[in-house]
């Protein structure tokens, strides 16, 4: 039996063992000559705001010791100020140069953290890069490139005898900032055709990425257009006592919310901008949330209790599983599978009553308008979740901005009931899944919200223009990646029929037809003899017994409880004429 030896491949060891050292290199190393050099030397210069320099400390030290060390620690920038403050020859020479030019004439001593006059050699100074969106730190760096001899941060903010409150104001006084004319022109043009919502997003974009020199002036000049849609909104919530200042303050609050999505805020990053002074986070009214919380909890509880007594065994099992996920926020996904007449809508209503009785929010939608109106508060899926109507594809998202009122509603939603999912293209729920993950900021299916799909795949499937059978099946939820995580709950008992043997046989026959069983060779359905009518007159006599030209006119309930369905309008017109005669 052959034996094999396993060798570990160590590339570093192989390189060291196999490296060739020439005679010249060996001699160079023996005499300890430098193997490499860098010319000229580059000195990194720190750029930090007062009290915001980097501090290295031992975590075992006391807080007082760490704070004391941090307050006394020197950096290349604070040492630059100290050198400029010197009254001797050092200060005289130091005040001739900017911060970036300093390393060309001075040497920074790490031991005592100070600058000394350079006696030999040459070095370049390079300040660390600061993004234009970094606020005051960017304007500090701008001043350091042109101001010579500043003795402190306060001195750096002083120009022509005036000490400015911010570095940005000092830059503006020195003419170091570009004019905001192009941003003003942009806002002026947009204000003529865009809504206040779009203008607020545009103003936020200007702050984040365009670094306007004087954002406060831009705000004061265009705040009326930016907040043009807020007057009516606030008056509807708080009454006519709302003033213009309230409207502008609320506009600042909304802009600050947009900035916070990018990790910024007006107070920290744009100190010259006015800030919202009122507690809008506690006062803001969301009509969508109010609508879904306006149900009478006691009445909803009584309706739920009454419906629970009428549930059959399959319906009760489905109700318990779904309510367990909703109550414990498990975020499960269920598909309530049952042919027509098995009571899916009744289960939905019972769940909705119980959820609303608990003071929670449940969104009830359907893939068609007719199915949506069967449930209280029902909406179509496209209307509720802004699912794209055109160009819906495998990568689509719903058009729901994160800061919108609909997004706030979804944050507080406990459950979503989606009926007739069989006729909905799978890209619809997939788009909602991606959107809810983004809005709820997690990777759970549908953002952790319990979702109850319902329908019957034996009924109408998605409509695919010029699609073949395979294309239609591929468009259903069954072919979606979501299906692997969906729990199927079955309803089998037909609740529209009685429990006689005849009714049971009829329900069984309907299911067989749905499965495509019992078809003739031509693909036609063989109706049982007791379901056949040999003529139109026999059908009318069966549905409307005792109806004749000489009989007394029946009560309205007689016609209300009877109906003849026909697939073609011509058949409907003919049957109606015969009955009216």
Burial class of residue 446 in the structure, from the number of CB atoms within 10 Å of its CB (0-12 exposed, 13-18 middle, 19+ buried): buried
Q: Which of 436, 459, 460, 456 minimizes the C-alpha distance to 446?
A: 436
Q: Which pLDDT score, from 0 to 100, does residue 475 have?
A: 92
Q: Considering only 162-166, 222-226, 337-341, which range has the smallest mean pLDDT?
A: 337-341
Q: Which of 111-148 are b and which e, b meaning 16 or more Cβ less than 10 Å from the residue's Cβ?
A: eeebbeeeeeeebebebeebeeebbbbbbbbbbbeebe
123 beta partners: 41
Q: What are phi and psi of 349, to 5 degrees?
A: -60, -40
Cα distances (Å, whole numbers) of residue 11 to 17, 19, 20, 21: 10, 12, 16, 18
Q: Are 249 and 277 in contact (CB under 8 A)?
A: yes
Q: What is the mean pLDDT of residues 326-330?
A: 93
Q: Which pLDDT score, from 0 to 100, does residue 434 have?
A: 94
pLDDT tops 90 at residue 132: no
Q: Which pLDDT score, from 0 to 100, does residue 236 have?
A: 67
Cα distances (Å, whole numbers) of residue 73 to 91, 114, 326: 21, 11, 56
Q: Which pLDDT score, from 0 to 100, does residue 283 have?
A: 62
Cα–Cα dist 295/376, whole Å: 11
Cα distances (Å, whole numbers) of residue 315 to 321, 485, 497, 548: 10, 21, 16, 44
Cα–Cα dist 147/159, whole Å: 10
> Sign of dihedral through CA atoms 241, 242, 245, 250?
positive
pLDDT tops 80 at residue 221: yes
Continuous segment of H or E residues that includes residue 162: strand 162-163
* 227 CB-near residues (< 8 Å, 6+ apart): 196, 200, 247, 248, 250, 251
Q: What is the mean pLDDT of residues 231-241?
A: 75
Q: What is the pLDDT of residues 432-444, one digit of tens each?
A: 999 999 999 899 9
Q: What is the mean pLDDT of residues 534-555?
A: 84
Mean pLDDT of the chain: 86
Residues of the chain with CATH 3.40.50.300: 291-490
Q: Which pLDDT score, from 0 to 100, does residue 2 have?
A: 47
Taking the mean position of all CA atoms in its chain, how far away is CA 316?
35
Q: What is the pLDDT of residues 343-354, one digit of tens each?
A: 899 999 999 999
pLDDT tops 90 at residue 8: no
Task: Determine what percent of the chain is predicted with pLDDT higher than 70.
Answer: 96
Taking the mean position of all CA atoms in its chain, how far away is CA 161?
50
* 356 CB-near residues (< 8 Å, 6+ apart): 295, 297, 300, 362
Burial class of residue 424 in the structure, from the number of CB atoms within 10 Å of its CB (0-12 exposed, 13-18 middle, 19+ buried): buried
Q: What is the pLDDT of residues 384-413, one digit of tens each?
A: 999 998 888 999 999 998 878 899 899 999
Cα–Cα dist 15/391, whole Å: 57
Q: Which pLDDT score, from 0 to 100, does residue 3 have?
A: 47
pLDDT tops 60 at residue 6: no
Q: What are phi and psi of 443, to 5 degrees?
A: -105, 15
Continuous segment of H or E residues that includes residue 381: helix 381-385
Q: Which CATH architecture has domain 291-490?
A: 3-Layer(aba) Sandwich (3.40)
Q: Are 410 and 356 in contact (CB under 8 A)?
A: no
Q: Which token pair is 265? A: 């805020």
- Given the DSSP bridges, would you call strands 486-490 and 333-337 parallel, antiparallel or unpaired? parallel
pLDDT band at 213 (very low <50, low <70, confident <90, very high): confident
Q: What is the pLDDT of residues 24-77, one digit of tens each?
A: 888 988 998 887 777 778 888 888 888 887 777 778 777 777 777 766 678 888
Cα–Cα dist 239/70, whole Å: 53
Q: Which pLDDT score, from 0 to 100, does residue 277 have?
A: 86
Virtual CA dihedral for 564, 566, 571, 572, nearest 10 degrees?
50
Peptide bond into 135 cis (omega under 30): no
Q: Which of 128, 129, 126 minimizes the C-alpha distance to 104?
A: 126
pLDDT tops 80 at residue 197: yes
pLDDT band at 339 (very low <50, low <70, confident <90, very high): confident
pLDDT tops 50 at residue 488: yes
Cα–Cα dist 262/403, whole Å: 12
Cα–Cα dist 382/427, whole Å: 12
Give the three-state DSSP class for 571.
Answer: helix
Give the three-state DSSP class for 271.
Answer: coil
pLDDT tops 50 at residue 1: no
CB atoms within 10 A of CB 355: 25
Q: Which pLDDT score, from 0 to 100, does residue 110 have?
A: 81
More confident residue, 310 or 531: 310
Q: What is the largest CA-CA distance in the chain?
A: 132
Cα–Cα dist 349/318, whole Å: 13
Q: Which pLDDT score, from 0 to 100, does residue 474 have?
A: 93
* 237 CB-near residues (< 8 Å, 6+ apart): 284, 285
Cα–Cα dist 385/398, whole Å: 6
More confident residue, 38 or 203: 203
Q: Which residue has the tokens 């969508």?
A: 288
Give the three-state DSSP class for 87.
Answer: coil
Q: What is the pLDDT of residues 240-290, one digit of tens each?
A: 778 889 899 999 999 998 898 888 888 888 888 898 888 777 666 677 887
């Amino acid at each position: 039996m052959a034996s094999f030896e396993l060798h570990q491949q160590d590339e570093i060891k192989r390189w060291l063992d196999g490296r060739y050292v020439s005679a010249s290199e060996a001699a160079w190393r023996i005499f300890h000559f430098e193997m490499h050099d860098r010319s000229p030397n580059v000195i990194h210069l720190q750029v930090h705001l007062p009290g915001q320099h980097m501090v290295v400390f031992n975590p075992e030290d006391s807080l007082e010791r760490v704070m004391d060390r941090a307050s006394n620690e020197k950096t290349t920038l604070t040492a630059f100020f100290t050198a400029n403050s010197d009254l001797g020859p050092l200060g005289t020479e130091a005040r001739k140069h900017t911060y970036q030019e300093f390393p060309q004439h001075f040497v920074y001593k790490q031991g005592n953290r100070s600058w000394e006059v350079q006696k030999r050699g040459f070095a370049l100074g390079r300040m660390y890069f600061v993004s234009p969106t970094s606020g005051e730190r960017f304007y500090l760096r701008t001043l350091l490139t042109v101001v010579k001899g500043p003795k402190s941060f306060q001195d750096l903010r002083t120009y022509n005898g005036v000490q400015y409150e911010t570095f940005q104001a000092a830059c503006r006084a020195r003419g170091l900032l570009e004019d905001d004319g192009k941003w003003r022109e942009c806002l002026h043009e947009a204000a003529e055709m865009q809504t206040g919502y779009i203008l607020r997003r545009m103003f936020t974009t200007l702050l984040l990425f365009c670094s306007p020199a004087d954002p406060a002036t831009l705000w004061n000049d265009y705040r009326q257009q930016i907040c043009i849609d807020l007057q009516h909104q606030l008056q509807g919530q708080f009454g006519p006592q709302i003033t213009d200042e309230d409207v502008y303050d609320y506009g600042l609050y909304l802009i600050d919310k947009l900035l916070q999505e990018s990790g910024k805020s007006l107070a920290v990053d744009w100190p010259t901008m006015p800030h919202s002074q009122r507690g809008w986070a506690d006062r803001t009214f969301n009509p969508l949330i109010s609508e879904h919380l306006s149900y009478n909890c006691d009445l909803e509880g009584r309706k739920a209790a009454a419906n629970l007594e009428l549930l059959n065994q399959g319906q009760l099992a489905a109700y318990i599983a779904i309510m367990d996920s909703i109550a414990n926020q498990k975020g499960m996904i269920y598909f309530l599978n049952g042919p027509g007449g098995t009571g899916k809508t009744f289960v939905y209503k019972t769940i909705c009553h119980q959820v609303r009785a608990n003071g929670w929010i449940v969104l009830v939608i359907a893939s068609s308008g007719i199915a949506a109106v069967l449930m209280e508060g029902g909406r179509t899926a496209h209307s509720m979740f802004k699912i794209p109507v055109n160009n819906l594809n495998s990568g689509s998202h719903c058009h729901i901005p994160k800061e919108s009122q609909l997004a706030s509603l979804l944050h507080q939603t406990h459950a979503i009931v989606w009926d007739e999912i069989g006729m909905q293209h799978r890209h619809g729920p997939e788009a909602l899944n991606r959107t809810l993950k983004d809005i709820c900021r997690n990777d759970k299916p549908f953002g952790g919200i319990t979702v109850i799909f319902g329908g019957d795949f034996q009924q109408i499937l998605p409509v695919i223009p010029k699609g073949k059978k395979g294309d239609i099946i591929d468009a259903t939820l069954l072919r979606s990646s979501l299906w692997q995580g969906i729990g199927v709950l079955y309803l089998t008992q037909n609740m529209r029929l009685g429990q006689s043997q005849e009714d049971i046989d009829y329900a069984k026959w309907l299911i067989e037809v749905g499965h495509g069983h019992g078809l003739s060779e031509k693909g036609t359905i063989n109706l049982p003899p007791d379901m056949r009518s040999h003529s139109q007159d026999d059908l009318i006599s069966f549905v409307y017994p005792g109806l004749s030209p000489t009989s007394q006119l029946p009560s309205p309930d007689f016609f209300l409880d009877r109906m003849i369905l026909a697939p073609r309008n011509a058949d409907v017109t003919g049957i109606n004429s015969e009955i009216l005669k």
